Amino acid sequence: MSTDKTRQHQRIIFGLKLRHWRQEKSWNFEELSRQSGISISYLNEIEKGKKYPQAANLSKLADALGVPKEELVSTALPRMYAPLVELLQSNFLSELPLDLFGIELQQVIEIIARAPDRVNAFISALLEIARNYSLREEHFFFAALRAYQELRNNYFEEIEASAEQFIQEHQLPSSGGVTVQQLSSILDKTFGCSVQENGLDAHAANLPGIRSVYNPFTQRILLNGQLNERQKAFQLAKELGFNVLNLQHQRPLASNFVHVRSFEEALNNYKAAYFAVAILVNRHAFVDDVAGLFRQNTWSSAPLLQMMEKYNASPEVLFQRFNVMTAEFGLEKVFFQRFIHDVANDRFEMDKELHLNRKHQPHASGLGEHYCRRWLSLSLLRQLHQEQANHETPYLAGVQRARFVDSSDEYLCIAVAKHGHPTPGHNVCVTIGVLLDEHARRTIQFWNDPAIPHMEVNVTCQRCAIADCKERVAPPRVLEKREERKRVQGILEKLTGKPE
């Protein structure tokens, strides 16, 4: 833990102890000020964890409260604050990006201090849930990052401006097609970073899925030799993002997180990736392309695949660039998802998701349940795997109108599935879904194309009440248990109710 955070925790703990001893004597601030000779405003700052008293004031407080000075300054807290101590020791509170949401750590502590028994019971419950479900700090970091992206509609004008300036300075093509050679040359000449194309090949067996590694001492970028040109371009563009945005201090050195050390590291990684997408897929050109796609009266996957070719972009990069839909087209009720298909075991995992404007129904489930096989993402991945058995199919694009049976919310979903996830035997599908409200129907001309398949869907098989579903891979156990509880509750209400 850094020295600054250690001092902050010392201030917080001392403030809580002072509050405890003051309340033990049933004193208000005026009385403690009279007894100690310390001003009310300064005492208030101490209790809020903003100030730590100097030696002379420590002696005054100890004398006034009748507490040994050693006990007053020790880091031990009364038993009622034990969960808070555990939370502080876990470094979780201080690592959370509270400032991004306009919250100060002292405000959180003050809330806890007002009713320590009840709040600490709540904290204990959260910590127990985290332990039982093997939740680590990084899960909270990524959850906070998603919340921050959603708060900003996944659109960061300051990074867009930096990317535009970079494109102009280095005369990168604005209409797409930024090459690996161009990016490599800029890294070398401007930032002194060299690129080793097959730098990870000697360790490929022990680094599955790692696309690149950066060595800060040699300033060398080691690439996985199995990457295609689009994947190489993204890794190099992301490295440029770390340099241009001055994010080198706290950043991951590998393309994939093995362990997340802090929220700032996760945030900086996201910002560098955002910058990479912004220079690979020019905002203004892409807005024109999306407008042309939306003007179509009928759906065709050709323009989408042509955009991938034009910008030399992977589906992930292209779909991240659809973040312009909120700022440029007013489409705010949107979700993004990425699925990984383990073809050998026929398992599907949602490893990325983002919800804008609201929590949309299609969402990740960490309970080991089976995602609805009617979702476009899963059906495309299965189709891709079937076609791969006969011939190489690099990409499959599709569209679907998906209506959720529990809410009747309907989404227009567009997805691209591809072969070539870094982990052998795995395929990837990225999906964007737009809630079909009145604004979306006016904006996307092809939404009502009769050729677009309509599908009733749910989140997981275990929670789905769709009868005679041919795609079902698991019985609706959760739903059955819920209905059983309702039946039991109904019988109990009759047995305990007033006789008719």
How do residues 123-177 score in pLDDT, each as one tens digit? 666 666 666 655 566 777 888 888 888 888 899 999 999 999 999 999 999 888 8
Which residues partner with 335 through β-bridges? 355, 433
How deeply is 261 buried, as exposed, middle or buried, from its count of CB atoms within 10 A (0-12, 13-18, 19+)? middle
CA-CA distance, 222 to 205, in Å (whole number)? Answer: 15
Question: For residue 10, what pLDDT band results from cuts at 50, 70 and 90?
Answer: confident
At residue 381, the pLDDT reads: 92
Is 70 exceeded by the pLDDT of residue 82? no
Q: Which of 493, 459, 296 is nearest to 378 (CA)?
A: 459
The segment(s) of the chain belonging to CATH 1.10.260.40 are 3-135
CA-CA distance, 226 to 205, in Å (whole number)? Answer: 12
CA atoms within 13 A on the CB side of 192: 5
The DSSP line for 8-61 is HHHHHHHHHHHHHHHHHTT--HHHHHHHH---HHHHHHHHTTS----HHHHHHH
At residue 118, the pLDDT reads: 64
Give me the helices (H) in 48-104, please: 55-65, 69-73, 82-89, 92-95
CA atoms within 13 A on the CB side of 462: 11
CA-CA distance, 446 to 443, in Å (whole number)? Answer: 9
φ, ψ of residue 246 in degrees (nearest 5): 55, 55
Neighbours of 410 (CB within 10 A): 20
CA-CA distance, 331 to 438, in Å (whole number)? Answer: 11
Q: What amino acid occupies position 220?
A: R
Is 90 exceeded by the pLDDT of residue 449? yes
Q: Which two tokens stand for residue 39?
A: 């001003």
Helix, strand, coil % in the chain, rounded to nearest 5:
50, 15, 35
Terminal-residue alpha carbon distance, the chain: 67
Write down the residue that tokens 């007033």 correspond to.
498
CA-CA distance, 192 to 190, in Å (whole number)? Answer: 6
- Which 3 state secondary structure label does DSSP give 255? coil
Is 60 exceeded by the pLDDT of residue 226? yes
The segment(s) of the chain belonging to CATH 1.10.10.2910 are 151-280
Tell me the CATH number for domain 3-135: 1.10.260.40
pLDDT (tens digit, 9 = 90+) per residue, 260-304?
A: 778 888 899 999 999 999 999 999 999 999 999 999 999 999 999
Q: Would you say 279 and 178 are in contact if contact means Cβ atoms under 8 Å apart? A: yes
Entry field: residues in the chain: 500
**Percent of the chain scoring above 70 in pLDDT:** 84
Which residues, in sequence order, are CB contacts of 50 under 8 Å at separation 6+? 11, 15, 106
Torsion angle of alpha carbons 147, 148, 154, 156, nearest 10°? Answer: 180
Q: Would you say 335 and 433 are in contact if contact means Cβ atoms under 8 Å apart? A: yes
The better pLDDT of the pair 142, 434 is held by: 434
At residue 410, the pLDDT reads: 94
Which residues, in sequence order, are CB contacts of 36 under 8 Å at separation 6+? 43, 57, 60, 61, 63, 64
**CATH architecture assignment, domain 151-280:** Orthogonal Bundle (1.10)
Which residues partner with 417 through β-bridges? 396, 429
**Mean pLDDT (the chain, rounded):** 85
At residue 143, the pLDDT reads: 80
CA-CA distance, 25 to 22, in Å (whole number)? Answer: 5
